[in-house]
Amino acid sequence: MGHKMKSNYEKGIQREVVVKNEMQLMFDAVSVNEAFARVAVAAFVAPLNPTLEEISDIKTAVSEAVTNAIIHGYDAEFVRENKSDGSNLVYLHCIIEDDVLSVEIRDKGRGIEDVEQAMEPLFTTKPEMDRSGMGFAFMEAFMDDLEVLSELYQGTTVRMKKKLGTTPWFRKED
């Protein structure tokens, strides 16, 4: 963890400077903590001097992922069926490497029966709660990479990446 700097010169060859930073949080799966997660990730990425649009994109994607964990992962039926002790947690893990933010949001809740179907725009398992079914679509639109892993009654992991700044996602080879 912390900052790692590679030597600028090794055997006469200039090397890139790699900046790495990491944070991990866990918090109760209650709706007030969605705002906490959003702000925590925004503050974590602030040293990279992101644009307001980049901050907004990241906050929206984190908000959607955390909300999914709270609303869908630890829904009332799951909690009742599993006789939960009330310690339903959401895990947030962020890594910055150079100018790329990686975010992982994980729960140990219900899981998703059909991830492909769940990722379709407008699909929701909670229409009675006025859920729009756009969570994964927003995450995909606002981040550069999205991966969703899930196992029934084991939980769901959402991994997202966002390249910050104006340099290309893929580096050019010399």
3 state DSSP class of 123? coil
Is the Cβ–Cβ distance between 156 and 148 less than 8 Å? yes
3 state DSSP class of 151? strand
Strand partners, 93: 24, 104
Our answer to whether residue 68 is catalytic in this structure is yes
> Which residue is associated with the tokens 């866990």?
26
Our answer to whether residue 131 is catalytic in this structure is yes
Give me the catalytic one of 82, 97, 131, 159: 131
Give me the catalytic one of 68, 88, 104, 106: 68
Is the Cβ–Cβ distance between 151 and 130 less than 8 Å? no
C-alpha distances (whole Å) from 157 to each of 8, 49, 98, 102, 140 are: 36, 27, 23, 13, 15
What are the helix (H) ranges across 46-97?
52-68, 76-81
Other beta carbons within 10 Å of 99? 16
Give me the catalytic one of 64, 88, 104, 110: 64
Our answer to whether residue 21 is catalytic in this structure is no
For the annotated catalytic residues, the residue numbers are: 64, 68, 131
